[in-house]
Amino acid sequence: MKNHLNVVASSYDKAIELGKKGIDLYKDLPDHLKDEPDYHLFEKAGAEGLDSSSGDKRIKEYLSPVQNMYFIDLGCCLNLMFNGYAEWPSIYHGVDISSETIKLLKEYSAKNNLNVGELFCGSIHKTPFDANYFDFGACIGVLEYFEKDFVSEALAEAYRILKPGGKFVLDIPNNNGKMRRFMNLVELSMGRPCRFDMLPREFEEILLKFFEIEKSEEVDAVAMILYFLKRRKKS
């Protein structure tokens, strides 16, 4: 698992370096992917701003952030910069395995005088935060890279650091979705293979140990399933 975490971290570090040069890997796919039959669907989704679940308006609507609430973004990527999270009234905290991502977020926060909490470089399955620390949280575009054992540990950690009854939004790949094969090829081309190995029913068996499922909705454009959850008072 440590080796795979390093692979994912290195991939995102590289993406940050390329991004600083104006290269967006999701918009500059290799030619062999552009020849795939589902490429036109991916291109259409990107044109509509649907190449990621992170900016989905349903996330903010469900979490309902208010001033002085603590928010944890697990596997945060650059949500603070590009998905409107900086505008939320709550106090943002981020965890990401990519050191270049965290470095860039710290620079961005300082430059824009943002009131953020800790920005921590590390894995989402072992964070430095106290138990029952956060009012609500999210984990978007992360679990797709990992197998069942790691996913279970990550859910247990999210349960630990959230307050009882705290809201949580996450997504997983829809392995039955039309775009899943193509999305897996995209991620593989970037050096971060998707290893998620469960169908929704098996995932939900684990999920229900820690959270109540208030609703789930499919994001067809990226073949993901969004879960809107409430942290159980006791697991």
Which residues have CB under 8 Å from 18's CB, separation 6+?
24, 25
Does the pLDDT at position 204 exceed 80?
Answer: yes
Say how far apart CA 201 and CA 86 lie, in whole Å. 34
> What token pair was written down for 152?
């279970």
Does the pLDDT at position 23 exceed 60?
Answer: yes
> What token pair was written down for 86?
């900086």
Reduced 3-state DSSP string for the chain: CHHHHHHHHHHHHHHHHHHHCCCCCCCCCCHHHHCCCCHHHHHHHHHCCCCCCCCCHHHHHHHCCCCCCEEEEECCCCHHHHCCHHHCCCEEEEEECCHHHHHHHHHHHHHCCCCEEEEEECCCCCCCCCCCCEEEEEECCCHHHCCHHHHHHHHHHHHHHEEEEEEEEEEEECCCCCCHHHHHHHHHHCCCCCCCCCCHHHHHHHHCCCEEEEEEEEEHHHCEEEEEEEECCCC
The two beta strands, 162-173 and 116-121, are: unpaired
Does the pLDDT at position 179 exceed 70?
Answer: yes
> What token pair was written down for 64?
């309902």
CB 179 within 8 A of CB 42: yes
Confidence (pTM): 0.94
**Residue owning tokens 């989402």:** 124
Q: Which of 102, 93, 101, 105 is closest to 137 using CA atoms?
A: 93
> What token pair was written down for 185?
């090829």
User: 60-92: per-residue pLDDT in tens?
Assistant: 999 999 999 999 999 999 999 999 999 999 999
Say how far apart CA 78 and CA 69 lie, in whole Å. 20
- pLDDT score of 175: 86
- Mean pLDDT, rounded, for 96-124: 97
Does the pLDDT at position 52 exceed 70?
Answer: no
